[in-house]
Chain A
């Protein structure tokens, strides 16, 4: 307190600016808390967090929520805790973290709608609410859990460093609120920081190299060598993303189904037993298209703002999410063309040259495969280690090759039934052998992939991978066993039983065939749905260390 101020004046008029009453250390001239010089070329703003000063009082968290009118479940700034040492020399240290305004912001590069921008002058990573469709891909991409879904708005929002306050020479809300002056704004040369960003690292923080976090952290001198996170007991399941379970499994089914149809068509010249397929192609393709339509509609419900789904195509040059949408759009349109062509040929009795059919079908099949690949790439993000492995694309393709053929088998059974065959002849069974073969092999591979995940239970250095495997075998052990059981039953045991049955019962009818196909398919489908559920709920994202009561993950 160095100057005297007239509170009475303010009270009397209610209008006199308080700015007149503020001392040198006050919140309006926070010379030491924000840079006093304007930014120079090649510099950007960043947070400096001094862990040795922070006492974990949570003032920054509350001030931030008040500044931005955020609901309590959205915290752009969060405080985490770690501790180490032995009583009485124990030390607890706190992390206060908002957005790190990274040099390579993964929220921005993944965004399918260009809702993020890195300000050219200040380097602040800003989010544009209007452009956001609420797909939450950024919440998967950020290794710090910074962007958070706001359920009141159905979009993601994040810290913008109170850039408008900064522009007015005022400290951001968190900076101004900190009783310990542990949070400050400073400038950094981006080129230098790219060279050496080691001071953005701290125990339990994701490697700053992933996104080049700009937040400088001053660690305390007395930081214990070994520390523990206080929220280490709170490994919680992530959101299951039900609509994405449907969307991914069904698009994979469709793409895998189409590819096997097309391959059958291609190979039917060589393998005579596949020839019944040629007549069936048109029905198979129609069935697959219906599933694709369903899958793509389901995906829209994942979005916070379904009406703006079209915007997801925008960033196809950069975002795998845009590319996924693009490839499956191509798949469904060209697939539609393919089916229409065959339907028309059937109806109007005109011939379609085999070469044209195969070429067009090949393009459709390729776009489906590209779609699965793009889907998988979405999940290959460093921030989510249990997704970020070769197993993810393998699982996605294998789901397609397990379910696609079984689905064709079902449609084929209907086709056989409708075309008036009362008894099944050996020649009719030909394609079924092919489908069951492909499906069985894929299921075998899928089993291997599943078990491979359990290797993370021992000797695992990435804590998120270990936690994820523990979630799977402890909390979700029943789900996991059921999933394996369904896979084995639907793809091995039942098909084997049918085969034996049909080969030994020459008089089996088409209705029986349909029942068997249907049961087998539904069991395998349930297995894959369950597997995808586990895929979503058991991922343990990278994040900043939380507090004792913090549950990781904030996405819907």
Chain B
């Protein structure tokens, strides 16, 4: 009443005040205390503060002193406190009574139920009949704990993360080329390189703070290879609008020119690599003319790229999902590494073949997790590595698996084949993010027991769970993240989780207690610091050496790049690069050059499905929108999925900018999505973001995966577009 008469204009809510740290701002946003932490969205790893008032997160601010972001945050980071308070948080353990109906239970029951059901399944069908799909969203301490729990507690190898959907091709590629995972460069290279070559990386939308770092480089030349004219491509000095999935041809073509023109580094090749002869032979056929034909690029652009690369003092190659999301992802990474190696541009200031990762702590699970390798980048198939670990842990050597279990897409396939009967999904939302959704739904339906542990409910994946475990999210727990440049940063707890939600760390320990493995695997552990301290010992002497990193040092320096051994002479604030000495993690210390052959995408357009479908992201949203979908402002800025189409095609189909259309592939359809007619996509191609459950691009994508990394081929599928009446 007072409001409708105009007596109350919410003066209190809209009053201003002065915050001691950040100055004049809305009074409602001035907290009681600022808690330093690291952003929980992407792998850039920005330093920031959460403002806490009366036990609630009310604001965030960038950390001006943080070495990564110097105070800047992207729009998601600037609104990150809303992800904690969002209305769709999971609050209580829930047990499914019937389809779509859950009953609230207590934690004791939930853990007992979960362990009991999994053990029954394992008893009947064998240990490997339980699978676990984890994430890149937890803290390293949790990944380390979870790895031990699954491999040594549950004794199943069928454990993988959603990171396989995201950067496993980079991992597999690095392993094949350099003998180990681990991006060699540093963000500082963005500022110090004179040539930035970005392949399949739209950093302006997906890693805006890296653009901030790039903008600081006044002497840069930027080349962007991307079939779509992305915001990043528009920033480029030279945009290479190559045909979808032809990066290998382009890279081989560049190397062909450099070898022909003798603009390579024979000394480096001689001293630090093997396989040059085979590579050179393979490259023979990649003449500029043939490459031009495959890629659709002009011979002069291919030559110009080669010459720019060769002429650069410190060329930097950065890539993301355009490379990784492919059945040839690993080999594309190898081709990138080949180029860097034959020109000697690895481990130098400004120069590096650099995988820009996706999730905030995908790197953490790569290092400490127990999925695609043993903790500390150790190899399953290497007996000395198994023995070393067994010794450090005080367990029998035989208890450590000698081969990797199934990768994520293969776990799903095993569910279909009845080999996996119980599944534990942690902090990921496959019912939006997994390719070929109809196939996935069919698989999940066959499970005996599905546990989904997540911070959010309802989301598409919790809705099909048998048991939902409510987890704490970013801002509610402590630990460390590692970003793309191997910088370990501290993540701190600002507020308590809602309802009965618990940190993933606590849940893992509770499961261990229920199984009776707590005392052997996690003796005396009560907080993440205990896991970190053990991880420090485990990583000692490895490439990803944490032994000199402590929580206290991290907080002092706003993150430290590994390797940082206990006796490291490096100043913690100083940038670090791998392979500066040209010694690699292979048996002979030499990097391996892989002759790589370009092959067409698994599905290409034809008469019935005449368009290439390319998928990607937008700056306002994070992955499957379990977080950002509930943040009103971000949703207002980007409320629904869209599909981009060239005007030439729109005219042919008689559809207009703003119309709603239907997309159909051999596997499924998106019934209603708004059309954006734009010259930023090529004729014959369409682009769609994958974030939106309501119009999910993954109903269209293909199931094919990379043979090495098992990463799905998200970026190319054949679709047709239909006008809706």
Residue numbers of A with Cβ under 8 A of B are 1, 4-8, 10-11, 14-15, 17-19, 21-23, 25-28, 53, 55-59, 61-63, 65-69, 71-73, 75, 83-88, 90-92, 129-130, 132-134, 152-155, 157, 162, 164-165, 168, 170, 173, 176-181, 230, 232-234, 303-308, 547-549
Contact = CB atoms under 8 A, between A and B. Distances in A.
B52 to A, nearest CB: 10
A168 B20 CA distance: 12
B566 to A, nearest CB: 20
5 contacts: A4-B557, A56-B619, A178-B72, A305-B6, A548-B676
A170 B24 contact: yes
A87 B677 CA distance: 12
A98 to B, nearest CB: 15
A73 B71 contact: no
Interface in B558-585: 558, 573
Main SS at interface, chain A: loop
A5 to B, nearest CB: 4
B3 interface: yes
B14 A233 contact: no
B208 A7 contact: no
B70 interface: yes
Contacts of B619: 56-58
Contacts of B212: 179-180
Contacts of A8: 552, 555-556
Nearest to B2: A307
B24 A168 contact: yes
Given A61-B637, A154-B3, A154-B4, A18 B573 contact: no
B74 A179 contact: yes
B70 A90 contact: no
Contacts of A59: 72-75, 78, 208
B513 interface: no
Contacts of A130: 9
B73 A547 contact: no
Contacts of A170: 23-24
B209 interface: yes
Nearest to A1: B67
Interface stretch (B169-177, B316-324, B503-511, B638-646): B638-646
Contacts of A26: 64-65, 70-71
Interface residues on B, range: 35 or more
B6 A304 contact: yes
Interface in B399-451: none
A356 to B, nearest CB: 41
B208 A55 contact: yes
Contacts of B555: 7-8, 11
Contact of B204 (A57, A71, A75, A177): A57
Given A66-B60, A157-B14, 6 more contacts: A18-B21, A57-B205, A59-B72, A72-B636, A179-B212, A548-B676
A157 B640 CA distance: 28
Contact of B9 (A19, A165, A305, A548): A305
A90 B26 CA distance: 40
B97 interface: no
- Which residue, of A68, A72, A129, has the highest number of chain B Cβ atoms within 10 A? A72
A152 B4 CA distance: 10
A26 B209 CA distance: 14
Q: Would you list the 7 A-B pairs with minimal beta carbon distance, nearest first?
A: A305-B6, A233-B658, A88-B241, A26-B64, A72-B632, A90-B679, A179-B212
Contacts of A66: 26, 29, 59-60, 78-79
A7 B70 contact: no
A179 B64 contact: no
Contacts of B79: 62, 66
B679 A85 contact: yes
Nearest to A90: B679
- Which residue, of B28, B234, B632, has the highest number of chain A Cβ atoms within 10 A? B234
B72 A90 contact: no
A153 B7 CA distance: 10
B446 to A, nearest CB: 39
B33 interface: yes
Interface string B1-27: 001111101110110100011111110
B229 A1 contact: no
Given A1-B70, A85-B679, A165-B23, A55 B78 contact: no
A234 B36 CA distance: 42
B235 interface: yes
B679 A61 contact: no
B637 A306 contact: no
Given A87-B646, A87-B680, A154-B9, A92 B234 contact: yes
Contacts of B23: 28, 165, 168, 170
Contacts of B231: 55-56, 92
Contacts of A86: 679
B234 A164 contact: no
Contacts of A14: 33-34
A307 B33 contact: no
Interface string B663-694: 00000000000001011111100000000000
A28 B64 contact: yes
Given A71-B632, A129-B9, A549-B639, A61 B75 contact: yes
B6 A90 contact: no
Contacts of B552: 8
Nearest to B646: A87
Contacts of B67: 1
A22 B311 CA distance: 38
B657 interface: yes
A21 B65 contact: yes
B215 A234 contact: no
Interface in B78-125: 78-79
Given A7-B558, A86-B679, A129 B636 contact: no
Contacts of B683: 87
Contacts of B24: 162, 164-165, 168, 170
A67 B61 CA distance: 10
B211 interface: yes
A179 B74 CA distance: 8
Interface string B232-244: 0111000101000
Contacts of B11: 129
B396 interface: no
A90 B680 contact: yes
B395 interface: no
B13 A152 contact: yes
A155 B9 contact: yes
Given A27-B64, A66-B29, A72-B633, A177 B73 contact: yes
A230 B674 CA distance: 13
A155 B5 CA distance: 12
B239 A55 contact: no
- Which residue, of B20, B23, B555, B642, has the highest number of chain A Cβ atoms within 10 A? B23
A157 B10 CA distance: 12
Given A7-B557, A18-B21, A90 B678 contact: yes
B211 A55 contact: yes
Contacts of A132: 9
Contacts of A5: 65, 558
A271 B415 CA distance: 98
A347 to B, nearest CB: 38
B620 interface: yes
A234 B657 CA distance: 10
Contacts of A62: 75, 78-79, 633-634
A27 B62 contact: yes
B9 A7 contact: no
B656 interface: yes
B64 A233 contact: no
